[in-house]
Chains A and B, each alone.
Chain A
Amino acid sequence: MTSIAATSAPARRRKLVGAGRRQWVGLLYVAPAVALVVVFFIIPLCMTAWMSLHNWPLMGAHSFIGLDNYWAILRDTRFWNALRFTGYYTVVVTIAIFAVAFPLALFIERPRQMTGFYRTSFFMPAVIGFASASLLWSWLLNVDSGLFSPAAFELGLTEKKVNLLATFQPAFWSIIAMVVWKVAGFTMIILMTGLQSIPPDLQEAAMIDGAGPLARFRAITLPLMRRTLALALILSVAGSVLAFDQFYIILRGGPRNQTLTAVYWIFNQSFVSFKLGYGAALSMILLVILVALSLIQLRLLRQPEGVD
């Protein structure tokens, strides 16, 4: 404290006292939020790690078994199958979502009559829940009372009503169609924000230079919305890695357990077989995968937007 403090000592002191009291008040304001996060997130998170080192049945005592659960995971071919299926699903559904959402974003980004109507219609399925959407499509996909196979039969496309959910390929692609229908509008809005952040004069300048639409898309649009693309990509990947509702509701993991996802397998181990410790160890694997994805996301997003 030197001359500067001395010049306006009384005023400054009043301010400091006020600031000192306000400091602790601030802590009071955030306390409820912090309490909730600690009780319902941080503590469960630590418990997951702790439980994963135990044999932990629903009833009865749990016992410490070190890394045995993790060794068991290494030999758990069904978990690795589930993880492989989840990876396959993630790749396919993400490509499918982008293949639909990108053209839609380009379509609604240009101002024209009825853009608002189009945007709202494309987005509507995104606000209903995955459970509602899955229930809805489980009806549409039903072989007797549904829409698709009876309609195909009536139109003469198939000789008899085909049960779309009985074999892997049609069942899998039905789920892809349902998820694209439900999610494309959401991805479209994210991509649209990226498109709108591109200065229009850049496009115009390129047009004057004689660049065609495809060249402009590759040289200007894509590089300038790299960050938005990364965000949309990560949201889609993270959402798909955690997929559960649609496979549980529409397929129950079938046909022949071929569509069990990672979360589904953890759910089965924890809440059907009640192997809580083993489920926790599986959860740790999933958690590491998701955190790794988030860190990649942070890296991608930190790169400044722009041509370089």
Chain B
Amino acid sequence: MAQARSRKRRIGMQIAEHSTGIIASVLFLAPIVWTVLSAFKPAQESRQPPLPPWPTTGFSVENYATLNTFGDGLWLPAQNSIYVSVMTVVLSVIVSVLAGYGFSRFRFPLKNLLFVLILSTIMIPFQSILTPIFLVLTKIGLHNTLTGLVCVYVTLQLPFSIFMMRNAFDAVPREIEEAARMDGANNVTMLLRVMLPLVWPGIVTIALFAFLGAWNEFLAALVLMTDQAKFTLPIMMTALQSGRFGAIDWGAVQAGVTVMMVPCLVLFLLLQRFYIRGLMAGAVK
């Protein structure tokens, strides 16, 4: 009797817990799903409130076509965003792998000072040094260029990614290195052939953070990219949403937001454990 009752209670608890979980999940997912679905409505329907969220008068990619007619179209800012994000990933991985290896495996003058210098930049908000960054970029001829923006983004990634990579290299046992050195490996082959395969999870983590950081960054791109042909997606979409290209087309905004969100969501779903790893590393330090 008592056993049956307690079993019943446990099932009741489980139902209550899972309903809570499902309701909360729906609340968190709804805005994303709502936008992705609404973006596929025909233009006429997009002007109406999204009730229900899915297209009722037929599936259409009209909104994406409309989005493409604003300013320089959809493809140019998308290309800019892709270029900036991919370059940020490539450069920040190269620079932080080298630096992480250097800080982990070598002893050189000023080593600790330089490490602390790089890490402490995380305390300074980049928002407060944007004007001089603008002037520095002008001085070295990189103002209003995507390359200049990439340099800024890579620098912003460095404290986190160098910290991650140094820890990753620290975790590789010295014996492996010594064995390889016996076999005649020099520093460069050591790094490429022996170390890289052992630290790749760290590399995936910093690449993911670099991509999301560059893809989503708003303020620096808004300030530094003054030429419309250099706009990244967030800047182009904000210009559209502010009515810069005429009446605001909410269907086009939904389509644009979808284009901005989907790469982040897909990458996160594929590489979730690397993302959480990065957060944990940051939280535990």
Question: Using a CB–CB distance below 8 Å, which chain A residues touch chain B?
Answer: 19, 22-30, 32-34, 36-37, 39-45, 47-48, 51, 104, 107, 112-114, 117-118, 120-125, 127-132, 135-140, 142, 144-147, 150-151, 154, 181, 185-186, 189-190, 193-194, 228, 231, 238, 242, 244-245, 248-249, 252, 263, 266-267, 270-271, 276, 279-280, 283-284, 286-287, 290-291, 294
Contacts and interface: CB of A to CB of B under 8 A. Distances in A.
Interface string B194-207: 00000000000000
Contacts of B32: 124-125, 128, 136
A43 B126 CA distance: 12
Q: 4 smallest A-B Cβ distances: which pairs?
A: A26-B106, A129-B216, A29-B102, A150-B49
Contact of A127 (B18, B49, B265): B265
Interface residues of B, number: 91
Given A107-B17, A193-B283, A263-B127, 8 more contacts: A36-B155, A39-B151, A41-B155, A125-B32, A139-B257, A142-B250, A145-B46, A147-B49
B284 interface: yes
A281 B102 CA distance: 37
Contact of A135 (B132, B155, B241): B241
B150 to A, nearest CB: 11
Contacts of B275: 127
Most B C-beta atoms less than 10 A away, residue of A44, A124, A189: A44
A136 to B, nearest CB: 5
B265 A124 contact: yes
A128 B265 CA distance: 7
A33 B98 contact: yes
16 contacts: A30-B98, A39-B140, A47-B136, A107-B24, A117-B25, A118-B21, A124-B28, A129-B217, A132-B234, A147-B49, A147-B51, A181-B28, A193-B280, A266-B127, A271-B131, A287-B124
Interface in B91-133: 94-96, 98-99, 101-103, 105-111, 114, 117-118, 121, 123-133
A246 to B, nearest CB: 10
Contacts of B223: 267, 271
| Chain B interface helix/strand/loop/mixed | helix
A238 B127 CA distance: 12
Nearest to B235: A131
A65 to B, nearest CB: 16
Contacts of A280: 131-132
Contact of A44 (B114, B132, B241, B268): B132
B212 to A, nearest CB: 6
Contact of B268 (A33, A37, A48, A127): A127
Given A28-B102, A139-B254, A132 B28 contact: no
Contact of A36 (B20, B25, B154, B212): B154
A33 B96 contact: yes
A122 B106 contact: no
B219 A245 contact: yes
A26 B111 contact: yes
Contacts of B21: 107, 114, 118
Contact of A145 (B47, B105, B121, B126): B47
Interface string B270-285: 0010011001100110
